[in-house]
Amino acid sequence: FDLEAPPQRIEVYDNSHIQGTNAVGAMIVAGPEGMMKNQYRKFNIRGDDLTPGDDFGMMKEVLMRRFKRLLKEDPDRKLGMWPDLLLIDGGAGQVSAVASIMKEYGVEDIPMVGVAKGVDRDAGKEEFYRVNQRPMALRHNDPVLYFIQRLRDEAHRFAIGTHRAKRAKAIGATPLDDVAGVGAARKRALLAHFGSAKAVSRANLSDLKAVQGVSGALAERIYAFFHERS
């Protein structure tokens, strides 16, 4: 990747969501001695102006918040908080999105690589993207490829775990608890079908009736509950 020296701090970023709901960003960190789990960070995606499922926008928000914090807490880069290499889960689109943030904050000097699975999405056929350069690949038996796969998988694991925890918390108290006839099982079915209580509140009657385990009468009760409230 044309690095000037072996990186001492690698930050790897990934996002996780289900159709844009409960979206989170995750950052893992690796150093010479392995994973630095005390340095991992979670990001609740806040962007109200993001289109659900906008992976580019989510990645931009995460990196924007990361660089703002670094510039505030370690502007001279003397505390060992800055990465020597950024690995981004994704291809040209994600790399372009992050590059725009790096330019905005004046940190374009930090090397950044996007890691995307190949056309058939098989492990070992990853493609690597850098700013203003053609995609490249590594030999399937290259130790560097194995290392990057491990980093990517760890970032994915951490992002998925963070998303599941947020989703489980969201499944806690919701307005659905106040609808007569909606117990735990039907609540889970509704949230699994629509993704969030807000989406349930906006659903039309026919969509509510399509949820497994929800009768026509209950669908009408749910619909009336939310629309009478509004």
Locate the domains of the chain by residue range.
10-169, 174-225
Structure-block tokens of residue 126: 């990853």
Q: Is the pLDDT of residue 119 over 70?
A: no
What is the Cβ-side half-sphere exposure of residue 94, based on CA atoms within 13 angstroms? 22
The CATH code of domain 10-169 reads 3.30.420.340
pLDDT value of residue 165: 81
Torsion of CA 43, 129, 100, 73, to 10 degrees: 50
**pTM for this entry:** 0.73
Instruction: Tell me the pLDDT tens digit for each residue of 37-48.
Output: 999 999 988 766
Q: Name which of 107-116, 176-185, 197-206 the model is least confident about.
A: 176-185
Which CATH architecture group holds 174-225?
Answer: Orthogonal Bundle (1.10)
Does the pLDDT value for residue 125 go beyond 90? no
pLDDT > 60? residue 212: yes
3-state secondary structure of 56: helix
Distance CA 47, CA 63 (A): 13
Q: Locate the DSSP E strands across the chain.
A: 10-18, 21-31, 34-35, 41-44, 85-89, 112-116, 127-129
Overall average pLDDT of the 3-14 stretch: 95
* Residues 94, 114 contacting (CB under 8 angstroms): yes
Q: Please tell me what DSSP assigns to residue 139.
A: -
For the chain, the distance separating the N- and C-terminal CA atoms, rounded to the nearest angstrom, is 55
Chain segment 24-34, per-residue pLDDT in tens? 899 999 999 99
**What's the whole-number mean pLDDT along residues 101-122?**
88
